[in-house]
Structure 1
Amino acid sequence: MASSTKVDPSRLAAYDVLKAVRLDDAYANLTLPQVLAEHKLEGRDAAFTTELVSGTIRWQGTYDAIIDACLTKPKLEAKVRDALRLGVHQLLGMRVPDHAAISTSVDLVRARIGVGPTGFTNAVLRKVSAQDLDTWIQQVAPDMAVDPVGHASIAYSHPRWVVEALGEALGIAAELPALLAADNAAPKVMLVARPGLSTVDELMAAGGVRGTLSPYAVELAAGDPSAVPAVAAGRAGVQDEGSQLVALALAETQLEGRDERWLDVCSGPGGKAALLAALAAQRGAKVLANELQQHRARLVARGTRAARSGLSGVVTGDGTRPPWREGTFDRVLVDAPCSGLGALRRRPESRWRRTPQDLDVLVPLQRALLDAAITSTRPGGVVVYATCSPVLAETTGVVGAVLAAREDATLESTRQLWPHRDGTDAMFIATIRRR
């Protein structure tokens, strides 16, 4: 194999991330910082790599259809397809000149795979470069009038079943293209000023703009959020406004009587628990952060380090079989494990990993968690059930099934956020009162 010295480090790094996503089931947003550091990439080079990785993964379905249309033989090695996807994104999704996108992709294949596929790579990418993205979509996507779901699947790079599930949840066919397009747009970097520890003004002074939905939200205009002093100290955090609204839904619901004991049932990795602990501390309340997995519990402990005064502890336990007594808590949050189809902007690889069969496991777990959470709440107390998914089986389906089996709980409100309407992840929030 040839040396990689001639290959642009940004493209080498992007290829390494795609390889880790494919072989190790890694998440790009978690792998990128490590790979960027290994290749010593900063500033514009790091931004180029980030866009190259995230854009390639988001548009993978569309790009694969285009690549397949350029093949003379149907079989293609996965490692070669990774390199081709990166080249196609440069040609069709970025402002990279055709000659640069093609030549650097050939160099990348030579360095990382070998000399053999270089001619093939050159030929395929030259075919791709002959047309723009819209023209390719018209060519490779099913006819919209005959198969609208199939057309949307290719045109917006979502698996067919995901298009169907999101369309059913949205309920307004005319808005579906806007939702799918929003999934393919890079999300804003939102910060949260944890009350009593940081302020919105402090974060705005670091180069941010006030959020529109949460009173604690600030959009970071540019730069690395970890370089913001309040974030580095844990007094503030990186948190989507939708996630902030989940915590606020629990904290702001009116409650009569005791209001001292709060519970976050599925607290990992700790963002909502940290905001809840900061809010609780201002009222003399305490949050117990529970997490099933030990490594995620450690993340919670680290993420809540600055909000200890509002935290009664971080424990490892099964929220479906809680060790605490019935009626222990005044407020309980169930941020349930879910398909994550509401956060495809942040974790684009999820759309390619999830299957409809995943719901067969997730939905019973969600029901069990919500049922146990209601039991853990005192009469008059409040439960907020949330998912980062708008899929009906995981949202209203779960809430309806659990409440139908109980006579001691009432649904007070639901809210579904959408990236194309609200600029947030597609969070579902249900507020339930135990009678």
Structure 2
Amino acid sequence: MYGHNEYRILLANAKVPVIVSNDTGRDGCPYEDFLSKGRVFSQERGWAGLDLEPDEDASAALCYTSGTTGRPKGVLTTLRGSYLAAIANAYETEMRADSVYLWILPMFHACGWTYPWAITASFATQITLRTVDPAQIWYHLLRSGVTHYCAAPTVQISLLNAKEAQPVPRKVTTIIAGSAPTAQLIGDLETKGILPVHVYGLTEVCEPDLNTGKFKLTCYTRKTYGPFTKAYVQPSWDTLSLEDRARKLARQGFGFLTSDPVRVVYQPKEGEEDLDTELVDVPKDGKTIGEIVTRGNITMKEYFQDPEATKKAFHGGYFHSGDLAVVHPDGYVAVQDRSKDIIISGGENASSLAIEQELATHPDILEVSVIARPHLKWGERAMAFVILRNQATARWAGRHNNFEVELKTHAKSRLPGFACPEWVQVVDELPKTSTGKIQKVALRKLVAKL
């Protein structure tokens, strides 16, 4: 939960009723009472009992950032944006009236990426879960006719390694966001009959409590309405090897049907920031790094009661994501890293995401996360935190130093020297948000103590 100071900031100007609740789904729970009052207010007539808002640009939802890098900021989205994002999600995932969506992505996360409305607009069926339980998920995948679900790569990995995992009886489309899927993950999903669709939005955050090792639950939000790009599959990819196809699928691709085209622009040099400077696109060479910027239908309206922060976020007329990317000659955008996650080693920029992609090709690795660690000679070098596959855990027990040597050798065959990990640590688990994304801020704090 937020701390007392953060709650004070949230409540100071909101002027809306607030409910803080752990919903049980039972009568008497504050949230259930809130819903009941809504039903009474509409005179049990549902949408027909409510007044229609004539302004499509009216504010629809107010979600708050976590405040881990400053005071929490309220992100306002509109009715028009919510509608268009929902229509795009339904279209891009081919959701229809006979579809069955399984809720793994939390609905509190940026209004569930507008999927509550996308599913409803498609006349599809929804199945809800109270917790991310692989056994329950596989029960529904195998017996409830599920056709769609959203999950981060780390959640996908936990599903594939559950004892209940087996090929599904029908095609299932899984929407992957949070980080790029590896070739191994894509291949494992396909062997189970699950079709991965890689989409991209903006990064969610969660604040770790290093005293307890647990995460404080916050109201995660995105500055868009959820995903707004997709790695559209080309017919020519069918003849590629799994690894080559996965590399292409791991890119962020192009903007959704209802979004403006995504741009990657040069970043201003430190000290030369000018809010009125014209944005310039990087060349489509797959090498020049810039920042992803976006605008249009499915970008947030503004920061709530914070015009200065809004002006800064939208300088040049585009929302600045903070994600660094390149544009390939075929026009596909590929995220290299968050600006804070780039590893600067000996004057060279190394992408932690690119390093993770290559390390993940080692057959004994289940999950891997890479961060920068200070280095006396090179400034920074990569440090890899690795979870081993179940069958590899016993083989490397008591010999993690030997595994480190083997992984470094593997890395040298696939990465330039400045990008190879200097340190490798085998761990039992990685810190993650409630949406399943690896939380690198917690790893950085651990490294700072080494």
TM-score normalised by L of structure 2: 0.26
Q: 1 or 2, which has the higher helix percentage?
A: 1
Structure showing greater radius of gyration is 1
TM-score normalised by L of structure 1: 0.27
